[in-house]
Structure 1
Amino acid sequence: MKFLILGISLFLVSILFGQETYNGVIVDQENDELPGVKIHNLNSNDKSRSSIDGQFVVKAQQFDTIEITYNSYDTLQVVAGLDWKTDQSNRVLLKYATQEIGEVMIVKKRMADFNVGFMPPIKGVRLNTGTNSIIELENLSGAKSTGNAREMYAKVPGLNIWENDGAGIQIGIGGRGLSPKRTANFNTRQNGYDISADALGYPESYYTPPIEALKSIEIIRGSAALQFGTQFGGLLNFEIQDPIKHSPFEFTTRNTVGGYGYFSTFNRVSGTHKRMFYQAYHQYKRGDGYRENSQFYQHQAYAEFGYYLNEDWTISTEFTHMNYLTQQAGGLTDLGFEEDPQQSIRDRNWFAVDWNLLALKSKYEFNKTTTFDIRAFGMISSRKTIGFLGKITQTDLGGNREMIYSDFMNGGVEARFMKKYSWLEADGKASKVRGALLVGGRFYRGETQTKQGTAAAGNKADFTFINPRDVEGSSFIYPSNNQALFAENMFFFGEKWRMNLGLRIENISTRSEGFYKEYVVHPLNYDTLAINRQRDSNSVARTVPLFGAGVSYKVGSNANLYTNFTQNYRAINFTDIRVTNPNVLVDPDIKDEYGFTSELGFRGLLNDVLIYDLSAFYIFYGDKIGLAPKPKTVKKERTNIGDAQNYGVETFAEIDWLKLGGHKRDWSLKTFVNASYINANYINSKEPNYVGNKVEYVSSYMVKSGISSSFKNWTFKVQYTFNSAQFSDASNAIEPSGDALLGEVPAYSVFDFSGKYKFKKWFQVEFGVNNITNTSYFTRRATGYPGPGILPSEGVNGYLTLQFKIGK
């Protein structure tokens, strides 16, 4: 027994004293440190990860095998005591995975130098193909506090922007001739989960995360978008900054002042301690607005808490809250806009939103080739509007106002499983075919309740129905259910070819149930003769299979030629159907929209000097919904106008002129050009006069161009934006109607200036002037709230931001 105890003791001592500590730093081929690299001792099964600056510490016995793995990089194995020494800092080089080298290098270079570019083919549990863009925001200059969309999205081709306000409270963007209305043609997400009111029945979002909180904005169009949904526009995903990894505490504050009484403060804390990570931020902004009667305030708050259960399994939770109140200045007639775009003839219109999101996420890596990700998400939110919605040619005589109140509730679960694999391996040689298979499922349920009726008089933001139990307009509930299965497979053939195939099956059920009231009015004195209460219900269920495919060919080391095709689908928006608009009627037989997108493109990076993306696209849009004349009335009808086609060319290029000599310099001088031509027209319509007409809110020519320069800690940029004229309805009316609902949206040009200075350690100053030339222009004629009529864009406006950051 004594010998046994002695033997065990000697064995334990040999293990204890046999282990050595190895340390060093992990870098890539550009000599940049790599954070979060997994380091696995295959003998002891111990695991760790590199820090934010690439440093690592691992314990191992002599001759233990250490495996180092990182997404998009080749796996490396080293032997302790032979390849690594204990008495020195070991510098470990990871090389890009052969068949992903081009895209990965482009992402890195873009992040460092261009702020925009293309995503790698595999990122986490996601496959990226076709046209995609990622906007890296850390070093991007511009009006971040107000979220000026002209500057933030300047390098993404083909985007048309509605400028709803000058504070970034809501964005409205549409791509390739699709409507910009509240970004409803994109599947809009935050950190990969839904943020819109109802992804099917009401896919509009009244919430936009603050630019100051974001790491990047991702836009994916083409066949890869089938992983996320059926929308024509693809995916728009806001990526919030990750918690700081190398410190238990970091504090950032950004404070901005600007024209028209604007003030904003953004404050964030973040940190990582052992296996726990966290962050929280709050943003408050207020202002008087560019126009009369357009004051506002907004609060945004976000909290994230996560924990590494082990080196393979991470769980986290995120909560988001946003509320704001804005006074709506209303629309203007064309004459009123020419006289003074800052005037307002509505002083009793208000809009309020309360948005609450909760997400639970879990990611488990079985091994370096197999990952499972699941996230559950939910939302409870509301929006309220109150005011006088009569045509802008009608005088608001006071009295009771009209109010629309909507409650949104939705929740869902989305799971993803990715497996990377190899085929045709022989004699230790690299496989001829490699691939990645992504399969997933989604369960989603949404419910919207909307009431419309008479509300309190006065001019304050008093959101109170006079008869809440029996409203004068309508009361409806809109449940929606969605189950979806999707699969995407990407094949890598040798060094140059890549092909992907995608399939999505959607089971969609949408309903509406409630009542609306019809009023019989005397033709002479307009007295109400009778009120008829009409019950109404509608239900539509359908199963929709969608298919997508794409091919990419590597031309040289950092360039790709690509093409892809994907089917699209957009369900009926029931909420729009039953909300009464005094200026617009709704076709009771309105149907879902369907179609497809195809594209051909060439993109790449040339010697770290030039980044470029050229593409041509074609979109077929069947049963497109829009406004058409209602027979025997003077009103417009929201209906399926007909079939449309959108086709065109998108180009983007940015060059760093001072790198042409091949020498590294303190100066940089870069110019970019983002230009697109889009021809969108109706090819079939139940209104014969519409065939051949242009689709509404499509600028045939859009150009964004800029020049930027940096020297040491200084950065300056001047940007130019041009949109050609657009039509506001399918009749292509050029001359404006008296009520400003119809007519051309004229071409406009805008210049923006921004600058930045970074102090050595803690401080940063940002400054700029938007719309330097004080151009008077507008991007939209609203048929209802927040108009109706012309909604002027902001004039000249300056800002100054002070940032202070400190960490432990």
Structure 2
Amino acid sequence: MKQALTIFLMLILSLNAASAQKNILRGKVVDQNKQPVPGAALVLEGTVRGVQSDNSGNYAMRDIPQGSYVLSVRMLGFKEISVPFSIKEQENLELDLTLQEDLLSLDAFEFSVSRGIMGQERLPEVDRFRINAGKKTEVIRVGEINANLAMNNSRQVFGRTPGISIWENDGSGIQLGVASRGLNPNRSWEFNVRMNGYDITPDPMGYPEAYFTPPMEVVEQIEIIRGASSIQYGSQFGGLMNFVVRKPDKSTRFTFETLNTVGSDGLFSTFNYLGGTEGKWSYMAYYQKRVGNGWRENSSFDTDHAHVLVNYAANNRLMLGFEMTYMDTESQQPAGLTDEQFRNDPRVSTRERNWFSTPWVIPALTAEYIVSDKTKISWKTFATFAERNSVGFMRPIFQEDDLGNRQVDRDFYTTYGSEIRMITEYALFGKSNTLAAGLRYFNGFIDRKQLGEGDNGRRMNFDLVEGGIFQRDFDFRNINHAAFAENIFRFSDKFLVTTGLRYERIFSNMEGLFNIVNDQEQILLPQTRTRNFLLGAVGAEYKVTPSMEFYSNFSQAYRPVLISDLTPPATTDVIDENLQDSRGFNFDIGYRGAVQNWMKFDVGYFYLNYADRIGTIARMNEAGEIFQFRTNLGNSVSQGFEGYVEIDPVTALAKTSRFGYLHFFASLAFIDARYGDFATTTVRDGEIVQGNLQGNRVENAARRINRYGVTYRYNRFSTTWQLSDIGDAFADASNTVTPNAAATVGLIPAYQVQDLSASMDINRRYIFRAGINNLTNEMYFTRRAGGYPGPGIMPGDGRTFYFTFGLKL
């Protein structure tokens, strides 16, 4: 990896030298008082070329083909200007620009962001190649949040996003487990998880578990579109969660940043970033190394992350890009606890031989082409070459490790995908409307090998003993074709309606060895299925004022039949040959906006219908034998209130302050997630007893997810206190209160956790961050695991400390 980065830097330096003699447009951006304006966006209209002004207001745009252009300059809080100019070959043209303040016409919602009131925004109505109007959206500006970013502390990162439930059992920060609206947080599998707009999970249609999470220190923002994203992204019920990685610095040829963190339990993390823009080329790369012992006994982690991105403006209309992401992890898993063990000492662990690893490589090619001033096309093609490996003693937690041979499970993922999108503006009845359309192809292959006999050692080793085999070895393939179109109809400056359709075709096939019993191979009968269906959506927005609006959306959604749904726990089990994807819809209605420049809010009601849920019931065949039958059994409904508000009382009362500003926020969600008609069966004394889950609360769905916080800012210093107040939940659909011996079912109690973080930079060069997570050392857990990384109770981390020092060059 180091050699690759060296070659990459040499390439950039050679490109610098090659472009040194080309024509240059340069100058300085200042305000009406002749003070420099840093961070202004300068774009050649109708092209893909653009740069930013640096901290001194200077800018330089190199290697522009000769001709006549219009330079557009945009900056929050200033009037946009457009300046025509002409440039000749090898000309060095000086063009200084003066911006005029425009605070009166500035949207108060945007102005509050410029004052640093929050690290959360919403997506604009139209954003690059997608339509967001009429949808509930959130944008988490990670860089504006006081949080333990080195450890990907999701409780802090998602603190301002209402209704996000989090499984806090992975203190290493390697994996993220989040959900919304009463859905299951297991590795975020109810979200369509992407990075820079392309897939990063093994298979969104068959195995959507997100084993890979980019380091938050390089994430510029996290974009969340609730279930209303189903038309443009083919979402699961949770919607879209897209990690946008930091872009190349457009204000300089070369910049370098390093962040180094130390903390409790042997934590050490180093994050190093470089990037810049030179002529038609822009580039960035980062490397993160993170090691630690973990809060609990028998836990440790060692992770490596790296990413390289290069963009090239082939001409004024075509931008080509390449990026590659690499991750390698080595994690010791302490497994779960019984309820008694948790009460006595949550840090204890009885398993020291469990290890987990997820090597991950994601290459992607991108292209953006400007057809005209009104029409743009985007193309992304991507792949995933990855593994999921575990080794350990997997028996129930109340069984003592016999120190014998360990179980080895391995998955190998090979996926390819491509998406092409077009967005265009057109006039209809005197109004500007927007159409977004696209095509998608995805081919995912999973080679699953489980129940292998490993060694009897203590270290990470996924090799089988000599002559050993995997007792379960099968292949799963998913091929997906999709097409979508969504349109904004603007009836006036205040009112718009969005409508859309998505066509899906999913082909799945699974076959191979299911198990070996008494030296007899049990072959899994090939299971092949093809589904074709349409999804529809309609949304609307009405602007009450320029900064406040009502919004509403209805979108059909689905969850494809997963690999786990098609894998019978035993060969006697039967899978319904007519097993259907789970279907349903999301409905939102809300009111959002800003009051001048001192308050932001978004409040609303949601209704999520999750139909055709998959489950297993007992049946009896003609011979009188009882077998388990997996089929679509019933539905659940989640509904409730989500609200977010942030207030700056100092600005509200005094407009300005020499002593800093206070920002109070509250992120509230009250969720009622319950099963509807959902048939169940149990077997008693050889007889099948019918039952129904109707009225039961959905497992893992807390009724209360509230987070509160306050931030104090003074110049370049800020500190944030946050309280997470989470209600209780059940670990199973039967709503079992008293835990079983294995601690896999039972109540998950309510809890409250506080965090305190601070940050400061000096001269925009020296960076300091520090904090205490779980300030009061609350002992709590968010999950009872039925299998790996458990089984049993998975405790959240107790009190930990961290300190970060950074340097920008």
Report the 3-state secondary structure (helix = DSSP H, G, I; strand = E; otherwise coil) of the residue aligned with 2:470: coil
Give the aligned residue type for 2:650. L
Task: Go from structure 1 to structure 2 and tell me whether the alpha carbon gap of 1:107 and 1:404 turns closer, same or farther (over 3 Å shift).
Answer: farther
- 1:436 equivalent to 2:428? Answer no
- 1:279 equivalent to 2:284? Answer yes
User: Could you list the per-position Cα deviations for residues 665-698 of structure 1 after superposition, in whole angstroms to 9, with x for gaps in the alignment?
Assistant: 2401011000110001011111233111000000
Partners of 1:551 and 1:487 lie apart in 2 by 16
C-alpha contact 2:39 2:75 (8 A) present in aligned 1? no
Partners of 2:618 and 2:265 lie apart in 1 by 40
Shift of 1:592: 2.1
Which residue number in structure 2 is paired with residue 596 of structure 1?
585
Report the 3-state secondary structure (helix = DSSP H, G, I; strand = E; otherwise coil) of the residue aligned with 1:510: strand
Tell which deviates more after alignment, 232-241 or 622-631. Answer: 622-631
Residue 376 of structure 2, aligned match among 371, 375, 379: 371
Residue 730 of structure 2, aligned match among 710, 727, 731: 727
Equivalent residue runs for 1:641-720 within 5 Å: 641-666=633-658, 667-687=660-680, 688-720=691-723
Structure 2 length-normalised TM: 0.87
- 1:91 equivalent to 2:95? Answer no
Task: Go from structure 1 to structure 2 and tell me whether the alpha carbon gap of 1:648 and 1:135 turns closer, same or farther (over 3 Å shift).
Answer: same
C-alpha contact 2:182 2:671 (8 A) present in aligned 1? yes
Give the aligned residue type for 1:116. Q
Shift of 1:21: 9.0
Task: Go from structure 1 to structure 2 and tell me whether the alpha carbon gap of 1:468 and 1:655 turns closer, same or farther (over 3 Å shift).
Answer: farther
Which residue number in structure 2 is paired with residue 203 of structure 1?
208
Which residue number in structure 1 is paired with residue 52 of structure 2?
51
Give the aligned residue type for 1:743. G
Shift of 1:714: 2.0
Give the aligned residue type for 1:205. A
Give the aligned residue type for 1:707. V
- 1:115 equivalent to 2:119? Answer yes
Give the aligned residue type for 2:563. F
Give the aligned residue type for 2:666. V
Which residue number in structure 2 is paired with residue 616 of structure 1?
605
Partners of 2:115 and 2:586 lie apart in 1 by 29
Shift of 1:70: 7.3
Shift of 1:581: 9.5
Which residue number in structure 1 is paired with residue 130 of structure 2?
126
Shift of 1:578: 3.0
User: Could you list the per-position Cα deviations for residues 84-113 of structure 1 after superposition, in whole angstroms to 9, with x for gaps in the alignment?
Assistant: xx99944256989x9xx859x538726843
Shift of 1:32: 6.6
C-alpha contact 2:27 2:94 (8 A) present in aligned 1? no
Which residue number in structure 2 is paired with residue 492 of structure 1?
490
User: Could you list the per-position Cα deviations for residues 180-212 of structure 1 after superposition, in whole angstroms to 9, with x for gaps in the alignment?
Assistant: 000001110000010001111101111000000
Partners of 2:694 and 2:710 lie apart in 1 by 41
Which residue number in structure 2 is paired with residue 314 of structure 1?
319
Count of aligned pairs between the two proteins: 755
Report the 3-state secondary structure (helix = DSSP H, G, I; strand = E; otherwise coil) of the residue aligned with 1:187: strand
C-alpha contact 1:222 1:564 (8 A) present in aligned 2? no
Partners of 1:220 and 1:699 lie apart in 2 by 21
Shift of 1:536: 2.2
Shift of 1:550: 0.1
Shift of 1:78: 5.9
Partners of 1:683 and 1:225 lie apart in 2 by 23
Report the structure number with the largest CA radius of gyration: 1
Shift of 1:633: 13
User: Could you list the per-position Cα deviations for residues 430-465 of structure 1 after superposition, in whole angstroms to 9, with x for gaps in the alignment?
Assistant: x4x211111110011000000112222222211012
Which residue number in structure 1 is paired with residue 782 of structure 2?
779
- Unaligned stretches of 5+ residues in structure 2: 1-22, 87-92, 681-690
Task: Go from structure 1 to structure 2 and tell me whether the alpha carbon gap of 1:776 and 1:588 turns closer, same or farther (over 3 Å shift).
Answer: farther
Partners of 1:761 and 1:215 lie apart in 2 by 17
Tell which deviates more after alignment, 741-750 or 45-54. Answer: 45-54
Report the 3-state secondary structure (helix = DSSP H, G, I; strand = E; otherwise coil) of the residue aligned with 2:231: helix
Task: Go from structure 1 to structure 2 and tell me whether the alpha carbon gap of 1:242 and 1:545 turns closer, same or farther (over 3 Å shift).
Answer: same
Task: Go from structure 1 to structure 2 and tell me whether the alpha carbon gap of 1:761 and 1:470 turns closer, same or farther (over 3 Å shift).
Answer: closer
Give the aligned residue type for 1:220. I
Task: Go from structure 1 to structure 2 and tell me whether the alpha carbon gap of 1:254 and 1:47 turns closer, same or farther (over 3 Å shift).
Answer: closer
Partners of 2:562 and 2:606 lie apart in 1 by 26
User: Could you list the per-position Cα deviations for residues 618-661 of structure 1 after superposition, in whole angstroms to 9, with x for gaps in the alignment?
Assistant: 01101224687999999999764521000000000000111012
Partners of 2:473 and 2:61 lie apart in 1 by 64
Report the 3-state secondary structure (helix = DSSP H, G, I; strand = E; otherwise coil) of the residue aligned with 1:542: strand
Report the 3-state secondary structure (helix = DSSP H, G, I; strand = E; otherwise coil) of the residue aligned with 1:537: strand
Which residue number in structure 2 is paired with residue 463 of structure 1?
462
Task: Go from structure 1 to structure 2 and tell me whether the alpha carbon gap of 1:774 and 1:66 turns closer, same or farther (over 3 Å shift).
Answer: closer
Partners of 1:633 and 1:152 lie apart in 2 by 52
- 1:573 equivalent to 2:562? Answer yes
Report the 3-state secondary structure (helix = DSSP H, G, I; strand = E; otherwise coil) of the residue aligned with 1:338: helix
Partners of 1:640 and 1:322 lie apart in 2 by 37
Report the 3-state secondary structure (helix = DSSP H, G, I; strand = E; otherwise coil) of the residue aligned with 1:337: helix
Task: Go from structure 1 to structure 2 and tell me whether the alpha carbon gap of 1:556 and 1:407 turns closer, same or farther (over 3 Å shift).
Answer: same
Task: Go from structure 1 to structure 2 and tell me whether the alpha carbon gap of 1:58 and 1:531 turns closer, same or farther (over 3 Å shift).
Answer: closer
Shift of 1:47: 9.6
Identical-residue share of aligned pairs (%): 32
User: Could you list the per-position Cα deviations for residues 714-763 of structure 1 after superposition, in whole angstroms to 9, with x for gaps in the alignment?
Assistant: 21111000110000011000011111111010001001000112112421
Residue 297 of structure 2, aligned match among 279, 282, 292: 292
Report the 3-state secondary structure (helix = DSSP H, G, I; strand = E; otherwise coil) of the residue aligned with 2:353: coil
Residue 540 of structure 1, aligned match among 526, 529, 551: 529
Residue 543 of structure 2, aligned match among 544, 547, 554: 554
Report the 3-state secondary structure (helix = DSSP H, G, I; strand = E; otherwise coil) of the residue aligned with 1:336: helix
Shift of 1:320: 0.2
Shift of 1:35: 4.2
Task: Go from structure 1 to structure 2 and tell me whether the alpha carbon gap of 1:297 and 1:493 turns closer, same or farther (over 3 Å shift).
Answer: same
Shift of 1:405: 0.7
Task: Go from structure 1 to structure 2 and tell me whether the alpha carbon gap of 1:219 and 1:635 turns closer, same or farther (over 3 Å shift).
Answer: farther
Shift of 1:395: 1.9
Shift of 1:393: 1.6
Partners of 1:641 and 1:46 lie apart in 2 by 54
Task: Go from structure 1 to structure 2 and tell me whether the alpha carbon gap of 1:533 and 1:558 turns closer, same or farther (over 3 Å shift).
Answer: same
Report the 3-state secondary structure (helix = DSSP H, G, I; strand = E; otherwise coil) of the residue aligned with 2:763: coil
C-alpha contact 1:400 1:456 (8 A) present in aligned 2? yes
C-alpha contact 2:646 2:664 (8 A) present in aligned 1? yes
Give the aligned residue type for 2:740. S
Tell which deviates more after alignment, 440-449 or 622-631. Answer: 622-631
User: Could you list the per-position Cα deviations for residues 350-399 of structure 1 after superposition, in whole angstroms to 9, with x for gaps in the alignment?
Assistant: 11110000000111112221101101101100111111111112222121
Shift of 1:598: 0.5
Partners of 2:772 and 2:339 lie apart in 1 by 27
Which residue number in structure 2 is paired with residue 526 of structure 1?
none
Which residue number in structure 1 is paired with residue 793 of structure 2?
790
Partners of 2:279 and 2:310 lie apart in 1 by 13
Shift of 1:33: 6.2
Partners of 2:224 and 2:48 lie apart in 1 by 34
Report the 3-state secondary structure (helix = DSSP H, G, I; strand = E; otherwise coil) of the residue aligned with 1:486: strand
C-alpha contact 2:202 2:413 (8 A) present in aligned 1? yes
Which residue number in structure 1 is paired with residue 685 of structure 2?
none
C-alpha contact 2:453 2:469 (8 A) present in aligned 1? no
Give the aligned residue type for 2:668. A
User: Could you list the per-position Cα deviations for residues 525-549 of structure 1 after superposition, in whole angstroms to 9, with x for gaps in the alignment?
Assistant: xxxx564433421011100200011
Partners of 2:279 and 2:641 lie apart in 1 by 50
Tell which deviates more after alignment, 450-459 or 19-28. Answer: 19-28
Which residue number in structure 2 is paired with residue 164 of structure 1?
169
Give the aligned residue type for 1:170. Q
Give the aligned residue type for 1:805. K
C-alpha contact 1:478 1:575 (8 A) present in aligned 2? no
Partners of 1:380 and 1:755 lie apart in 2 by 38
Report the 3-state secondary structure (helix = DSSP H, G, I; strand = E; otherwise coil) of the residue aligned with 2:341: helix
C-alpha contact 1:102 1:559 (8 A) present in aligned 2? no
User: Could you list the per-position Cα deviations for residues 509-529 of structure 1 after superposition, in whole angstroms to 9, with x for gaps in the alignment?
Assistant: 11111012253xxxxxxxxx5
Shift of 1:311: 2.7
